[in-house]
Structure 1
Amino acid sequence: MTDAMLLLCTCPSQASADLISEQLLERRLAACINQLAPVSSVYRWQGKIERASEIQLIIKSRAPLFAEIEQVILTLHPYEIPELLMLPISAGHGPYLAWLAAETS
């Protein structure tokens, strides 16, 4: 078992995705962040079905850092309720997991 995790977070623009990514990396809260763009999101918001083109962040980090990551995202993200989902990583390539841990320590 490992404490590695993936976090998913969508951003409305490249600028917001870059700002969040840079802050998480500078604070050593993430080892790597993939920015997938554009993704097409379809969701219900305030009683209406909405569509948006967004940047999907896939953040690689460790579970003990979740609260700090959440605080950075809530502070910088423009959405009222940003997506922030944590997916635990139960196993992975040992050297990669060691690198991830070293980059977030």
Structure 2
Amino acid sequence: MSEFCLVLCTCPNPETGRNIARLAVEKKLAACVNLIPGLESVYAWQGAVEQDSEVQLVFKTAKVKVDELHKLVLSIHPYDEPEWLIVDIQSGSRTYLEWMRSSLR
């Protein structure tokens, strides 16, 4: 089983995404966070179909950091229920994974 994962989380705008990403990296809860702008989301929420522009965050982190990262995100995220999906990293280049490991220490 791999020690690393990706965490997906959407944000309402780039400013919010950058703030969350910067704090996560500063606190060594993520080695890197990609911000993907221009996302259009269609979803069911409280009995209605909603449509919004969002920014996708992709956190690269260690599984042991996920709970603390989630607490950080929940403490500053403006959504009532932010996306929080965890995808195992099955493999990757040895040097990149070592960089991740050292960045999270």
TM-score by length of 2: 0.97
- Equivalent residues in 2 for 1:62-81, closer than 5 Å: 62-81=62-81
- The CA deviation at 1:13 is 1.1
- 2:87 alignment counterpart: 87
Distance across 1 between alignment mates of 2:2 and 2:102: 13
Measured on the aligned residues, the alpha-carbon RMSD in Å equals: 0.7
Count of residues paired in the alignment: 105
Which stretches in structure 1 are left out of the alignment for 5+ residues? none
Which stretches in structure 2 are left out of the alignment for 5+ residues? none
- Three-state SS of the structure 2 residue aligned to 1:39 is strand
- 1:10 alignment counterpart: 10
- Equivalent residues in 2 for 1:23-102, closer than 5 Å: 23-102=23-102
Percent identical residues? 37
TM-score by length of 1: 0.97
Once superposed, which parts of structure 1, at least 4 consecutive aligned residues long, lie more than 3 Å away? none
- Three-state SS of the structure 2 residue aligned to 1:34 is strand
